[in-house]
Amino acid sequence: MTRLPDFRLETYFSRWEFTARHHLTASDAETMTMAELLALADPEDRKAWDTLALGYTETFGDPGLRRAIAGMYEEVDADDVVCFGGAQEGLNLAMQVLLEPGDHAVVITPNYQSAETVPLSICEVTGVALDERQDWALDVDAVEAALRPNTRVVSVNFPNNPTGALIDAADLRRLAELCDERGIRLFSDEVYRGLERDPARTLPQAADLSARALSLNVTSKSLGLPGLRIGWIACRDRELLSRLERAKHYTTICNSAPSEVLARIAIKAREPILARNRALIAANLPRFDAFFAEFADLFEWRAPEGGCVAFPRYLGADGVEEFCTGLVEGAGVLLLPASMYRSELTPTPADRFRVGVGRRDPGPALEAFAHWLRTRR
């Protein structure tokens, strides 16, 4: 495994996430307090919280947590789940377990940087770009054309970060079938599942579609609980799960016991939490629509189909990188410029930025943003 490059997005956040006055590029939905989450606990989980001993936990994850996670799927049992310290650990270890030098992987772009750079540190990778001219559509034929005899993994992410795009369920099923026919693992990043604008477009989960596929999820994004640092992979291949557990022995070994109990509470109460977060996004989107309509000469805006991030285009002559730097330094409003999603595999847009629409009351941030733009005119 070669040395990984700097993680551009996380490096940028290290500089600005907790110093900028207005975080307008958040990738998670609105969070909640400990008291709010504990109020959702059933008696069994409340007792587990109150009597929790702070020892080591099982490497696979707390059995009660794994049962709760399995309840999110149609074909998955608790023994088909392994928990991690966030989605990042799961993604990293999965690629290391699934891939070896001499293998080949296919990854869609744009995507979260590690979805590309981790497999690239191991083997050859081909990128398949979402088509921004067609509302970020995925060409499944292009994925099929990219497959090789030594392809071991096809990695996708829907709802997509940063575009907010979805694909049709039929396309995901076709991807699963293509992978099964050729002995390839479909790795599906599903961390924004549950935040679709149209619930009818909620995609099936890859682990339900195929016994070989891996579904990655986390409490951070749709549930808005990134501080728990609890993610998981669901896969019905128990031998593969055993390999993932052994890989985890070299990283976190086990998860935080308090986080596992809190994650169990959140996952059991996911329907009201997701309903609240969908309602927040639905209330926020008209405010973003109005903002971008006022500055239509500077932006091309399209609301996300799923998730809580979008990827508008900046039309200004100064370019998006200078624009985002000027905005955070001059108005304290943080956005993520296109360079954070640059790919080594395919061309990616150089004139877009990520905006988050899932936090409560974006009004002050949008007002500061608008004031800064008006003063520049």
List of E strands, 183-230: 185-189, 214-218
* Residues ≥6 apart with Cβ < 8 Å to 174: 140
Average pLDDT over residues 122-144: 97
CATH architecture of 8-33+272-376: Alpha-Beta Complex (3.90)
Rounded (10°) angle between helices 363-376 and 270-294: 20
Shortest CA distance to 247 belongs to which of 101, 94, 99? 94
> Which residues are 352's β-sheet partners?
313
Ramachandran assignment for 260, one of left (phi > 0), alpha (psi -120 to 50 degrees), beta (any other): alpha
Q: How far is CA 233 from CA 78, 260, 338, in A?
A: 11, 15, 29
Shortest CA distance to 165 belongs to which of 143, 197, 187? 197
Domain 34-269 CATH (choose: 3.90.1150.10, 3.40.640.10, 3.40.50.1820, 3.40.50.300): 3.40.640.10
Q: Where do the structural domains in the chain lie, given as residue ranges?
A: 8-33+272-376, 34-269
pTM above 0.95, yes or no: yes
Whether residue 2 has pLDDT greater than 70: no
pLDDT tens digits, 240-257 = 999 999 999 999 999 999
In terms of residues, how long is the chain? 377
Query: Is the CB of residue 241 less than 8 Å from the CB of residue 80?
Result: yes
Whether residue 1 has pLDDT greater than 70: no
Cis before 162 (ω within 30) = yes
The predicted pLDDT at position 377 comes to 80
Whole-angstrom distance, CA of residue 59 vs CA of residue 246: 9
Tokens 């959702």 sit at which residue? 40
The predicted pLDDT at position 206 comes to 98
Whole-angstrom distance, CA of residue 240 vs CA of residue 354: 35
CB-based burial label for 101 (10 Å; 0-12, 13-18, 19+): exposed
The predicted pLDDT at position 3 comes to 83
User: What SS3 state is found at 169?
Assistant: helix
* Residues ≥6 apart with Cβ < 8 Å to 348: 109, 110, 129, 338, 341, 342
Tokens 């789940």 sit at which residue? 81
The predicted pLDDT at position 83 comes to 98
Whole-angstrom distance, CA of residue 225 vs CA of residue 194: 14
Q: Which residues of 163-177 are buried (b: 16+ CB within 10 A; e: fewer)?
A: bbbbbeeebbebbbe
Q: How far is CA 287 from CA 207, 273, 361, in A?
A: 36, 22, 10
**193 is written with which tokens?**
């599942």
Cis before 110 (ω within 30) = yes
pLDDT tens digits, 161-212 = 999 999 999 999 999 999 999 999 999 999 999 999 999 999 999 999 999 9
One-letter amino acid at 170 equals A
Provide the Cα torsion 348, 354, 357, 359; round to 10°.
140
Give the model's confidence band at 143: pLDDT under 50 very low, under 70 low, under 90 confident, else very high: very high
The predicted pLDDT at position 359 comes to 98
Whether residue 342 has pLDDT greater than 70: yes
